[in-house]
Structure 1
Amino acid sequence: MTLAYWIVAGLLASFYLYAGVAKVICSRDRLRPMMAWVDRIPLPAVRALGTLEVLGAVGLLLPPATGIAPWLALAAAIGFVLLQIGAITVHLTGEDRQVMLNAGLITTAAVTIWPATSWL
């Protein structure tokens, strides 16, 4: 169970760390080819989403690794499920309607919830 958590959480955290840092530091023009929805959302909201993604990635890995507040891993996994529900909503209300990546991320985050309960 522990190995499964570290594999899935590590992959999920690396994706969100990359995407989150990109949202925090890149301009709207650099984000547009990867994320067609950035024109419909105010830039401070995009930066806030990026910050949440970086914090969630850290929350998946650091608390279980240190043993300090390991329940944060569960909270981060649940937060990513909720984040992807919102992301799917944004994609479906826009023109791009590409939700396969979001469906994969929501599934991966949901799968991470069960092993994350072992840290409680």
Structure 2
Amino acid sequence: MNVFLWIAQAILAAMFAMSGLEKLVRPKDKLAGKYPWTQTFSQTAVRSIGVMELLGTIGLIVPAATGIAPVLTPIAATGLAIMMILAGALHIRRKEPSGLMTTAVLLVLCALVAWGRFGLYGW
């Protein structure tokens, strides 16, 4: 189970790092094609979401890998799961079913990592 959790953490970290960096460095008008919801958010809000995704990425890997404050890993997974719940609600409200599937998969992975790292396979 520990190996599965590490694989899930790596997948989540890669996904959130790519998404967060993109939201952080690209202008809002360039993101609208890939992320239609950005049209209704300010540039500051989009960048703030990107920063939270990057912080969550760091929290998924660094504490668990170093053994320094490893309780931060399930907390980061829980925070990212909450973000995915909010993102899912946004996609439902905007009637964007295409974004809902990715959000649901990420939510499930975040919840599994949080559950696994808070439980028996935590530190």
**5+ unaligned residues in a row in structure 2: which ranges?**
none
**5+ unaligned residues in a row in structure 1: which ranges?**
none
Runs (4+) of structure 1 exceeding 4 A deviation are none
Calculate the TM-score normalised by the size of structure 2. Answer: 0.92
Calculate the TM-score normalised by the size of structure 1. Answer: 0.94
Percent identity for Structure 1 against Structure 2: 32
Deviations 1:49-75 (A, max 9, x none): 000000001100000111111011011
CA contact (8 A) 2:8 2:113 kept: yes
Q: Which residue of 2 aligns with 1:110?
A: 111
Deviations 1:20-70 (A, max 9, x none): 000000111221121010001111011000000000011000001111110
What RMSD over aligned residues (CA atoms) do the two structures have, in Å? 1.2
CA contact (8 A) 1:24 1:46 kept: yes
Which amino acid letter does the alignment assign opposite residue 2 of structure 1? Answer: N
> Alpha-carbon deviation of 1:95?
4.2
User: 2:78 matched to 1:75?
Assistant: no
Identify which range, 95-104 or 63-72, moves more after superposition.
95-104
Which amino acid letter does the alignment assign opposite residue 122 of structure 2? Answer: W
Q: Which residue of 1 aligns with 2:89?
A: 89
